[in-house]
C-alpha cells in the first residue's frame, strides 16, 4: 500500500464507492423488512387495512376500513392469531406546553392493550395502559421519552403527571423509548386507549368503521381462511348486503412491496427479488471490472517479482493466495471507508436517504429519528463484509490466475 500509493488510493476509493452504494441499498431494505425495535414480530405480522362492501349483486363496491365491533366480536376469536390489535392514527394532534403559548404537533395512535404485545416498546418508566383502563375509557396514555423531554424537560419522574392533548387533560401512565418514523406502523409519540374516542365503536355499515387491524400469526394461510369464513357466513345470512376481505390479511413482506389494495395490482415478490438482485449485481460487477483492470496492470508490473518467487519454489497457489490476501486488505479498507460514507450520508440527510426506493412516498417528515437498531445493525456489518469478499474475488481472482499461468521465464523477462 505504501509502495504504490496511487494504485492503493484508487483501489480503496473505487471499493468504497461500490460498498457504499450496495450497503445503502441493503440498509434501505433492512429497515423495511428486518425485525427492528419495536417491530420484532415482523415475520409473523399480518395486516387487515380494508374491506370491500356493497349491495349484493352490484358490480360497484366500496372499499373502507374495518370497524372495531368486527374486531371485538369476530377477529379476536380467531384460533390462528395469537395477537389481534386494532388502532387508528390521529390527525392534526397537538400537545399544549405547560406555561407556554406554543404547541407541538405529535403522532398519535389510539389503540388497545394488545398493541403493546404486538410492538414491544421499552418502557423507561411506568407501564402501558391496562385492559381495565381501556374498558373504562380512562383518560390516560403513554408518551415517548423525546416528547416527555419537550413537555416536562425530563423523561423520568413524570408518571402520574398530566399533559394537555388537543386541550384535553390526560394522565401519563408510562414513558417509552421512541421508535423511528421510518417504521410508520408502530411509530407514535402518544399512545391512548381507543376507548377515549367517543366514536371508537361506531359501525357505519356492517363491518365498516375507522380502524386498522394487525395480527400476529404462525400460519398466514389458516388466518386468511378464518377471516374469509367470517365474510362467507355473513354473506350467506344477509340477502341484501355483502362484504369481502379482498386478499387480506396481508403479510408484512407482501405489504412492504405492494401498496395496492387489489390482488391484480400486486407486484410478485419473486420479481422484486430478481430486480433487486440484478441491481446489486450491477453495483458490484461494474466496479469489479474496473478494479480487475487495475489489478491486471499491477500484475504485469510485478511480473519479475512473481517470476523470481516461482523460480525459488513458490507455487501458483501460494502466490494466488498472497495476491488475494493483499487485495482483500485493500478491499476491506475500502469497505470500512464505504460504511463511514453511508453513515455520514444517512445522518446528514436525517434519514431521508432511506426513503429513496419508496415509490409512493408522500411522507412530509423532513427529519427521521434514527434509532441505534437502524444505524448499528449487525446484519449490515455482515452484508458489507461479504460484499468486500465477493468484490475481492471478482476483481482479483481472474487477472491473478492468468498472470500466474504464464511460464516462469516470461515473468522474469
- Please determine, for residue 254, whether its predicted confidence score (pLDDT) is greater than 90: no
- Region 357-370: mean pLDDT is 68
- Please determine, for residue 406, whether its predicted confidence score (pLDDT) is greater than 70: no
What pLDDT was estimated at residue 90? 85
What pLDDT was estimated at residue 146? 95
pTM of whole model > 0.75? yes
140-144 vs 190-193, strand pairing mode:
antiparallel
What pLDDT was estimated at residue 364? 62
Confidence of residue 268 (pLDDT cuts 50, 70, 90): low
Q: Angle 42-259-119 (CA atoms, 0-180°, nearest 5)?
A: 25
Confidence of residue 315 (pLDDT cuts 50, 70, 90): confident
- Please determine, for residue 226, whether its predicted confidence score (pLDDT) is greater than 90: yes
Confidence of residue 149 (pLDDT cuts 50, 70, 90): very high
What pLDDT was estimated at residue 161? 95
- Please determine, for residue 311, whether its predicted confidence score (pLDDT) is greater than 90: no
Percent of the chain with pLDDT over 90: 46
- Residue position matching grid coordinates 513458490: 314
Please give the grid coordinates belonging to residue 83: 395477537
- Please determine, for residue 2, whether its predicted confidence score (pLDDT) is greater than 90: no
Q: Which has more confidence, 226 or 405?
A: 226
What pLDDT was estimated at residue 269? 67
Confidence of residue 165 (pLDDT cuts 50, 70, 90): very high
What pLDDT was estimated at residue 410? 54
- Please determine, for residue 264, whether its predicted confidence score (pLDDT) is greater than 60: no
What pLDDT was estimated at residue 258? 75
Which are the contacts of 265, defined by CB distance < 8 A and separation ≥ 6? 258
Q: Which has more confidence, 77 or 377?
A: 77
What's the rounded Cα separation, in Å, for the pair 352 and 358? 11
Q: Which has more confidence, 277 or 179?
A: 179
Please give the grid coordinates belonging to residue 257: 412491496
- Please determine, for residue 261, whether its predicted confidence score (pLDDT) is greater than 80: no
Laid out side by side, the sheet with 51-55 consists of 208-209, 62-66, 51-55, 241-244
- How confident is the prediction for the chain on average, in pLDDT? 86
Of 224, 205, 233, which Cα lies nearest the Cα of 66?
A: 205
Please write the tens of the pLDDT for every residue from 85-127: 999 998 889 999 887 788 999 999 999 999 999 999 999 999 9
Lowest mean pLDDT across 29-33, 196-200, 382-386: 382-386
Q: Which has more confidence, 312 or 154?
A: 154
- Please determine, for residue 319, whether its predicted confidence score (pLDDT) is greater than 70: yes
Confidence of residue 47 (pLDDT cuts 50, 70, 90): very high
Which are the contacts of 24, defined by CB distance < 8 A and separation ≥ 6? 342, 345, 346, 353
**By the 8 A CB rule, do 324 and 397 touch?**
yes
Please write the tens of the pLDDT for every residue from 384-403: 788 778 777 777 777 777 66
What pLDDT was estimated at residue 14? 84
What's the rounded Cα separation, in Å, for the pair 193 and 111? 5
- Please determine, for residue 362, whether its predicted confidence score (pLDDT) is greater than 60: no
Which are the contacts of 405, defined by CB distance < 8 A and separation ≥ 6? 316
Would you tell me how many other CB atoms lie within 10 Å of the CB of residue 324? 17
Confidence of residue 128 (pLDDT cuts 50, 70, 90): very high
Respond yes or no on whether the N-terminal peptide bond of residue 249 is cis (omega within 30° of 0): yes
Distances (CA, A) of 332 to 164, 386, 399: 53, 10, 19
Amino acid at each position: 500500500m505504501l509502495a504504490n500509493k496511487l494504485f492503493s488510493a484508487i483501489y480503496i476509493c473505487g471499493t468504497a464507492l461500490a460498498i457504499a452504494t450496495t450497503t445503502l441499498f441493503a440498509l434501505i431494505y433492512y429497515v423495511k423488512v428486518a425485525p427492528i425495535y419495536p417491530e420484532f414480530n415482523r415475520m409473523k405480522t399480518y395486516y387487515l387495512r380494508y374491506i370491500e362492501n356493497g349491495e349484493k349483486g352490484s358490480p360497484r363496491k366500496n372499499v373502507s376500513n374495518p370497524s372495531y365491533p368486527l374486531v371485538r366480536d369476530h377477529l379476536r376469536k380467531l384460533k390462528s392469531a395469537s395477537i389481534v390489535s386494532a388502532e387508528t392514527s390521529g390527525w392534526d394532534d397537538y400537545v399544549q406546553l405547560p406555561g407556554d403559548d406554543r404547541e407541538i404537533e405529535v403522532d398519535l395512535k389510539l389503540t388497545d392493550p394488545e398493541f403493546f404485545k404486538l410492538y414491544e416498546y421499552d418502557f423507561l418508566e411506568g407501564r402501558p395502559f391496562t385492559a381495565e383502563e381501556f374498558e373504562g375509557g380512562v383518560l390516560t396514555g403513554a408518551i415517548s421519552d423525546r416528547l416527555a423531554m419537550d413537555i416536562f424537560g425530563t423523561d423520568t419522574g413524570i408518571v402520574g403527571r398530566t399533559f394537555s392533548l388537543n386541550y384535553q387533560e390526560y394522565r401519563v401512565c408510562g414513558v417509552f423509548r421512541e421508535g423511528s418514523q421510518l417504521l410508520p406502523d408502530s411509530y407514535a409519540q402518544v399512545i391512548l386507549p381507543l376507548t377515549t374516542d367517543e366514536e371508537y365503536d361506531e359501525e357505519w355499515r356492517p363491518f365498516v368503521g375507522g380502524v386498522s387491524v394487525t395480527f400476529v400469526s404462525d400460519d398466514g394461510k389458516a388466518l386468511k381462511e378464518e377471516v374469509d369464513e367470517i365474510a362467507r357466513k355473513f354473506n350467506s345470512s344477509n340477502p341484501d348486503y355483502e362484504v369481502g376481505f379482498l386478499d387480506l390479511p396481508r403479510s408484512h413482506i407482501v405489504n412492504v412491496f405492494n401498496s395496492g389494495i387489489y390482488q391484480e395490482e400486486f407486484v410478485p415478490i419473486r420479481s422484486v427479488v430478481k430486480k433487486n438482485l440484478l441491481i446489486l449485481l450491477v453495483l458490484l460487477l461494474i466496479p469489479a471490472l474496473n478494479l480487475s483492470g487495475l489489478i491486471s496492470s499491477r500484475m504485469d508490473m510485478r511480473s519479475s517479482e512473481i517470476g523470481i518467487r516461482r523460480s525459488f519454489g513458490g507455487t501458483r497457489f501460494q502466490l494466488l493466495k498472497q495476491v488475494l490476501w493483499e487485495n482483500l486488505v485493500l478491499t476491506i479498507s475500502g469497505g470500512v471507508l464505504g460504511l463511514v460514507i453511508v453513515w455520514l450520508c444517512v445522518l446528514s440527510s436525517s434519514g431521508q436517504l432511506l426513503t429513496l426506493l419508496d415509490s409512493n412516498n408522500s411522507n412530509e417528515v423532513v427529519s427521521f429519528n434514527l434509532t441505534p437498531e437502524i444505524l448499528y445493525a449487525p446484519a449490515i456489518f455482515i452484508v458489507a463484509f461479504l460484499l468486500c469478499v465477493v468484490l475481492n474475488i471478482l476483481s482479483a481472482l481472474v487477472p491473478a490466475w492468468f498472470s500466474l499461468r504464464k511460464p516462469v521465464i516470461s515473468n522474469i523477462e
